[in-house]
Structure 1
Amino acid sequence: MTGDRDRPGTGRHEEAPDDAVRTDGAVRDKLVAAKERWARDGRALTGTTADPARDRLPPGQRLVEDWPVLDLGVQPRVTTGNWSLTVDGLVENPLRWSWDDFQAQPQERFLSDIHCVTTWSRYDNTWQGVSARHLLSVVRPKPEARFVLFHAYDGYTTNVALEDFAADDVLLATSWEGQPISRDHGGPVRVVVPKLYFWKSAKWVKRIELLAEDRKGYWEVRGYHNHADPWTEERYSD
């Protein structure tokens, strides 16, 4: 679940895709409407919880061996040549990294599972990239920073608490299973926040904004949970 067009009538700003990066496709309105309906109907909710220390598979999930592609029909033509990352907001050291700048940072390898709110999970994904902890050590969040808003090249946004972004298994990934992340999966750089449902792991990330007050993203204003913990079934808003 990715992509962003803010809901008409919410009074929220609609962020356009980056002018320097062209996009292919168009938002599939019927798909968006269907997923909004899932939120209203509580689709896939089991009413149970699980303990991640004991139960690897969250409630209501099924295992898959492939990696399904989920988007809204819009894919930006972002490459290592035109990609850049801006980190700003409540930070002491705002930055804008090119691909070369990003590659010059310490590269780490992580192993984690994926849990998608559409009920599939995939175990043992090997990622490589720059850890969120390293990024935060460079930008130095100000004391009042408490939330993070991810902005993507297709206009998509999603929000997490700063403490969730700062977890030791979160990274900005450039490779999956030893290969560059493909365009349809959010390459050249996507966020990976493995402890939350995967819509929080923004594809095609271009900007990371640190905030004092929370600001909901694309799916969060369309009925999806603000936190998104798979083991407590935080699929949808109350």
Structure 2
Amino acid sequence: MKRGTQIIIIAAVMITAVIYAVDLAANTGINLSGDLSADTDYTEIREYEGEKLSSVNDFRENSIKGPVYPDMDKYQLKISGLVKNPLSYTYNEAISGFRNHSKVTTLYCVEGWEATIFWEGISVSELIGSSEPEEAADTVIFHAYDGYTTSFPLEYITGNEIILAYSMNGIILPPQRGYPFQLVAEDKWGYKWIKWVTEIELSDERNYRGYWESRGYSNSADLNEGFFGN
């Protein structure tokens, strides 16, 4: 290949990447740089009902493949597996078709840091209910864009009003925090708070082990227990 042709191809790729980034920022109102302060200095809520909140910038980037930038024109949130009525939702269908829920919850990372955030999102129980789980379903498996997975007993999801968050501290989730959806898995270690969620699968595989769980981390991930083992 001639050098001139190579330069043209490289330039075309770079232009495409810039157009994508500009389009994503325009449609979400979020900053795509590693430092989120440009978005959060003036719009991020730092206190809610008298409780001090951490900043979006307090989180560390520790995903398995780095931040994901989904193509929202193609994005679908799927409800699959042992359900009578498998369904898929666009981002807008999901956030407009289900009630908004909010809560202040703290994420505790196994690395030793924590962040208390005001989360807003949609109920996983309501999403699942719309697809009518089969009687045999006792486990909920979450899938992410980057291949990450994790699971929970169905009763944990339905008994704790667990939400899929699309907003934190009053701003739309940045890509670094899991846009379009991050699970708020309260009372569980941070590796259960799966980001970039694409699919919620109902299963009868009670012993399913996700990405970190299959590498020795606790499947239950209860905060009052160690994160290695069971």
What's the TM-score, normalizing by structure 1? Answer: 0.68
Aligned partners of 1:147 and 1:213 also within 8 Å: yes
Amino acid at match of 1:73: K
**What's the CA shift for 1:137?**
2.2
Percent of pairs identical after alignment?
31
Correspondence for 1:199 among 191, 198, 207? 191
- Which residue number corresponds to residue 111 of structure 1? 104
Question: What corresponds to 1:8 in structure 2?
Answer: none
TM value normalised by structure 2:
0.70
Any gaps of 5 or more consecutive residues in structure 1? Answer: 1-63
- What residue identity is the alignment partner of 1:218? Y
Taking the aligned partners of 1:82 and 1:126, their CA distance within structure 2 comes to 28
1:91 alignment partner, SS class: coil
Match of 1:218 among 211, 221, 224: 211
Look up the equivalent residue of 1:228 and give its one-letter code. Answer: A
Provide structure 2 residue ranges, at least 5 long, that are not aligned to the other structure: 1-53
Aligned-residue CA RMSD (Å) = 1.9
Correspondence 1:112-151 to 2 at 5 A = 112-123=105-116, 125-151=117-143
Structure 2: how far apart are the matches of 1:87 and 1:152?
13
From the CA coordinates, give the structure whose radius of gyration is larger. 2
Distance 2:86 2:79 in 1: 6
Counterpart of 2:181 in structure 1: which amino acid?
V
Contact 1:110 1:169 in 2 (8 A): no
Question: Structure 1: how far apart are the matches of 2:74 and 2:188?
Answer: 29
Residue type of the alignment partner of 2:218: H
Picking from 73, 87, 94, the partner of 2:79 is 87
SS at match of 1:76: coil
> As a proportion of its length, which structure holds more helix?
2
> Which runs of at least 4 in structure 1 moved beyond 4 Å after TM superposition?
none
Give 2:93's aligned residue. Answer: 101
Measure, in 2, the Cα distance between the counterparts of 1:108 and 1:186: 18
**Residue in 2 that maps onto 1:171:** 163
Query: Looking at both structures, which has the greater relative contact order when contacts are Cα pairs under 8 Å and sequence separation is at least 6?
Result: 1
> Cα gap change, 1:148/1:190 in structure 2, threshold over 3 Å: closer, same or farther?
same
Q: Which residue pairs with 1:160 in the alignment? A: 152
CA contact (8 A) 2:61 2:176 kept: yes
State the alpha-carbon separation in 1 of the partners of residues 78 and 109 from structure 2: 27
